[in-house]
């Protein structure tokens, strides 16, 4: 991989990294594992003059806090997240989601924080615009959205592809964010704007420092599914995450959350369908139809809206069955 010339700094702490980002401004980029940033630099999606690498900072191991929540360092490698005994025992859905990311080589390099902050993608945006694809799109400062020419200038339908973000949203995770003015905490859902042009609410000099996942309740069930063209390596065609809690009778749903990934500018939730599941005995087939009709998946990477909606319907039903059986102790 041959890149243009740029400056490189390797601070010894996240606080130093934040200071460097703040000092340089928008022309600097944070480099963790680099599995998203470096390919984007290669095709000149981004061209920072300074890379601030946090690769020399050793992440803390996942730990259980006094309140029962799990703290996970944002610099934790995805491979370590998969293998961590605490994660496997307490948050197996998170370990499974991390295991679906790309290949083992990517998981060894990629970090949890980097996976959450990966750029949105589309086939036109993620191209080297030099001979075949010459004109830049809106997201790259151009005059047209070439995949969707009818879009207004402030509308970008690039798709957010993280495999792990839907899981952390479903688990009510919170993020500890470090910036020039100290730390702040936000809900995982508040990280995303739903705007393909500017998908994150982070400031230019802010870094996700840690993720906190609260303890799950009794009779908790989960299901996770990722559709891909191949078994590994690929970004998701659609990602489906369902969590729920059953009442003592083992049949009635107390509450449920459904989160979809890789089908929108950010993670999507069919909130009306979720509300209909409260205090009800669930019919997975009916729930799947309702949820798939409630959201509007974005066509992406050769998959049209009809295919994505049907994929979501089929796998929502199967994933919900898995979540119910998990809550009933059958799996």
Cα-atom radius of gyration of the chain, to the nearest Å? 20
Residue 302 has pLDDT above 80, yes or no: yes
CA distance 56 to 234: 28
- What's the pLDDT tens digit per position in 180-231? 999 999 999 999 999 999 999 999 999 999 999 999 999 999 999 999 998 7
Tokens of residue 246, six digits: 């059953």
Tokens of residue 33, six digits: 């594992």
Share of the chain above pLDDT 90, in %: 89
Exposed/middle/buried for 217, CB within 10 Å: 0-12, 13-18, 19+? exposed
- What's the pLDDT tens digit per position in 270-282? 999 999 999 999 9
Confidence at residue 131, expressed as pLDDT on a 0 to 100 scale: 66
Residue 331 has pLDDT above 90, yes or no: no
Confidence at residue 155, expressed as pLDDT on a 0 to 100 scale: 94
- Which of the residue ranges 1-15, 158-172, 199-213, 250-264 would you say has the lowest mean pLDDT? 1-15
In 3D, which of 298, 295, 266, 271 has the Cα closest to residue 116?
266
Phi, psi of 51 (to 5 degrees): -105, 125
Please give the average per-residue pLDDT across 63-86, as a whole number. Answer: 98
- What's the pLDDT tens digit per position in 122-157? 989 998 877 667 788 999 888 889 889 999 999 999
- Which residues contact residue 238 at a Cβ distance below 8 angstroms, ignoring those fewer than 6 apart? 226, 227, 260, 261, 262, 263, 297, 308, 311, 312, 315
2 or 253: which carries more pLDDT confidence? 253
What pTM value is reported for the model? 0.97
In 3D, which of 261, 269, 265, 227 has the Cα closest to residue 100?
227
């Amino acid at each position: 991989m041959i890149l243009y010339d740029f400056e490189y700094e390797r601070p010894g702490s996240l606080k130093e990294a934040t200071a460097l980002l703040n000092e340089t401004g928008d022309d600097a980029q944070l480099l963790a594992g680099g599995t998203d940033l470096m390919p984007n630099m290669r095709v000149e999606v981004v061209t920072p003059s300074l890379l601030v690498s946090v690769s020399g900072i050793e992440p803390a191991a996942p730990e259980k806090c006094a309140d029962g929540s799990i703290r996970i360092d944002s610099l934790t490698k995805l491979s370590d997240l998969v293998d961590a005994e605490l994660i496997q025992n307490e948050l197996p859905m998170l370990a499974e989601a991390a295991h679906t990311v790309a290949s083992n080589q990517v998981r060894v390099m990629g970090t949890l924080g980097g996976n959450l902050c990966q750029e949105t993608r589309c086939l036109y945006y993620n191209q080297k615009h030099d001979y075949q694809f010459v004109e830049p799109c809106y997201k790259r400062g151009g005059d047209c959205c070439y995949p969707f020419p009818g879009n207004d200038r402030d509308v970008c339908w690039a798709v957010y592809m993280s495999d792990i973000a839907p899981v952390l949203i479903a688990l009510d995770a919170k993020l500890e964010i470090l910036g020039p003015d100290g730390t702040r905490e936000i809900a995982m859902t508040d990280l995303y704007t739903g705007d393909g042009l500017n998908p994150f609410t982070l400031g230019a000099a802010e870094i996700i420092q840690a993720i906190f996942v609260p303890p799950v309740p009794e009779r908790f069930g989960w299901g996770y599914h990722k559709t891909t063209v191949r078994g590994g390596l690929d970004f998701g065609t659609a990602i489906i995450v369902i969590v729920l809690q059953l009442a003592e009778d083992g049949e009635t749903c107390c509450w449920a959350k459904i989160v979809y990934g890789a089908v929108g500018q950010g993670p999507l939730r069919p909130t009306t369908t979720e509300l209909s599941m409260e205090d009800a005995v669930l019919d997975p087939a009916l729930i799947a139809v309702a949820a798939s009709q409630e959201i509007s998946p974005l066509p992406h990477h050769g998959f049209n809206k009809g295919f994505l909606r049907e994929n979501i319907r089929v796998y929502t039903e199967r994933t919900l069955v898995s979540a119910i059986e998990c809550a009933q102790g059958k799996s």
